[in-house]
Amino acid sequence: MFTEGYISAMPASPSFGDPKWIPGHSLGQSDKYAGTGESKKTRVIVIDDEFLIAETVAEILNAEGFETTAVSNGASAIELAGSLQPDIVLSDVIMPGLNGIETGVRIREIVPHCRLILFSGQAATVDLLAKAREQGHRFDILAKPIKPEQLISAIRDASDPSV
């Protein structure tokens, strides 16, 4: 159900990526809270103006045990970040309105500990990334199309506080 610019995605099968990935089956990574009695899940906001992509990525991450919400624009993500306090924002770079970099910078003003992972399949991203780095903003970048194994590995790495 789409409500006020965002939805909480429910686990389901992905519509893209490597067919070796099976929802609910770990990709060989152990949960950093396993055996500790803690049940804190890494909170992730996925942003893509192509909502089907955001929703599919969120479904993959939810199936892997993350608490993931999909949104279709930067403004919705910023609004959601205030209440959700995400650990990670995974965002497309090129979007109408606020791009992924602008959105990430604004979310970090609200949630300073939040890690930003950008993804893009467009060449125009290079200039935006260079400008953001010149301004001192740090982020990771993934190229589209994203393979589920690479996505999950990047999210797990970003959720590790020692990195």
Task: Tell me which residue has tokens 């993500």.
Answer: 77
Calculate mean pLDDT across residues 22-44.
Answer: 55
Alpha-carbon gap, residue 111 to 114, rounded angstroms: 6
Q: Is residue 25's pLDDT more than 60?
A: no
Average pLDDT, the chain: 78
Could you tell me which residue, 125 or 132, shows the higher pLDDT? 132
Residue 128: pLDDT band (50, 70, 90) is confident
| Percent of the chain at pLDDT exceeding 90 | 47
Residue 4: pLDDT band (50, 70, 90) is very low
Could you tell me which residue, 133 or 75, shows the higher pLDDT? 75
Alpha-carbon gap, residue 31 to 9, rounded angstroms: 21
Contacts of 84 (CB under 8 A, 6+ apart): 43, 45, 69
Q: What is the pLDDT of residue 129?
A: 74
Q: What is the pLDDT of residue 130?
A: 75
Task: Give the 3-state secondary structure of residue 100.
Answer: helix
Task: Tell me which residue has tokens 């199936």.
Answer: 63
Q: What is the pTM of this model?
A: 0.69
Alpha-carbon gap, residue 163 to 161, rounded angstroms: 6
Q: Is residue 137's pLDDT more than 70?
A: yes
Q: What is the pLDDT of residue 123?
A: 60
Q: How far is CA 133 from the centre of its chain?
A: 19
Q: For the chain, give every domain's residue range.
A: 41-159
Q: What is the pLDDT of residue 163?
A: 55
CATH architecture classification, 41-159: 3-Layer(aba) Sandwich (3.40)
Calculate mean pLDDT across residues 31-37.
Answer: 42
